[in-house]
Amino acid sequence: MTARFVAHDEEAFRKILGPEPTLELLLEDNSYPFAHEAGVYLQSSDALFVTSNRFRDPDSEQQRVQISKVVIGGASRGRGTVREEVDSSAVPMGNGGVNYGEDSILFCAQGSQELPSGLYVMKTWAPYETSLLLSGYHGRPFNSVNDVVIHTDGSIWFTDPPYGYEQGYRPRPKLPSQVYRYNPKTKSIRAMVDGLGHPNGICFSPDERTVYITDTDWYHGGGSTDDAKASTIYAFDVMFYHEEPFLTNRRLFAMADKGIPDGIKCDMDGNVYSGCGDGVNVWSPGGVLLGRVIVEGGAANFCFGKRGEMFILNETRLWRAQLGIHVRGALLGI
């Protein structure tokens, strides 16, 4: 395999990559790190929404995050990739996101000193109408909501680490670092997981019997790192007691050896992918490292497109990896 695709289990990783894997640079903008988080693919328009890393606005001198809509082009599409900056003022310090219904995206907003952290719903077309869905736990404000996934029953699961406070744009936390479940039908919110340093990425296995959650405690918001802290993916079983879900049997699924396992997703075969310090790492459902898609500078997040394509967010660059055309992301199944 080429240096861009590094196998640890040659046979298993080759099945994922297919006969001719490729890695194509779609877009580059060195003026600011536009491609950091979210990565929400829209099949109907062949586009994806991304959030930038935080950067200092030259006009206000304040930290901010920019949301962009990217219409996919490149060699495989026969046209250029086009990026549109979306008015992001209604989603303060946006981060993770997920498809929400047919025409909306549910964004995580880390919040600011003035505006709440929480879950915000944005329409996928101009003028990108936005509304706040949820901003706290029974009156206590969230810390810095980071990533989100939606169960097929409609419930919303999300992580809430303290990065905003550590990075200087959020008040001191009034909640522990936890993972939550919100039921929009009943307006019920529950804390589902505690005891993690910095809960970050979250996804379900294809059968939704397992939840994967990353703990990125290795990296603190002030920029410091600690090799003795977790850089870990945990797996939990989804069990029902009195007809309600609980997460049980917490176990260490995998540890990222380079950087942190940030965004996390599964394919329809149950393989687990995570953006790490050297690109996207891939593990079997049993926790065995199968291989890596190497991208210099690493990847905080990524998303699957259709027929085995994967869009990798690499700060100032957006990449398209073509895996085997049989690969389907579990989120959309396309």
Spell out the domains of the chain, with CATH numbers in brackets.
Answer: 35-263 (2.120.10.30)
Per-residue model confidence as pLDDT tens for the chain (334 residues): 567 999 999 999 999 999 999 999 999 999 999 999 999 999 999 999 999 999 998 888 889 999 999 999 887 787 899 999 999 999 999 999 999 998 999 999 999 999 999 999 999 999 999 999 999 999 999 999 999 999 999 999 999 999 999 999 999 999 999 999 999 999 999 999 999 999 999 999 999 999 999 999 999 988 899 999 999 999 999 999 999 999 999 999 999 999 999 999 999 999 999 999 999 999 999 999 999 999 999 999 999 999 999 999 999 999 999 999 999 999 999 9
Residue 62 vs residues 34, 53, 65: alpha-carbon distances, Å: 16, 13, 10
Full 3-state SS string of 115-172: CCCEEEEEECCCCCCEEEEECEECCEECCCCCCEEECCCCCEEEEECCHHHHCCCCCC
Q: Beta-carbon neighbour count of residue 154 at 10 Å? A: 10
Distance CA 43, CA 51 (A): 18
Give the torsion through C-alpha atoms of 35, 159, 266, 268, to 10 deg: -120
**Nearest CA to 2 among 321, 329, 263, 225?**
321
pLDDT at position 2: 62
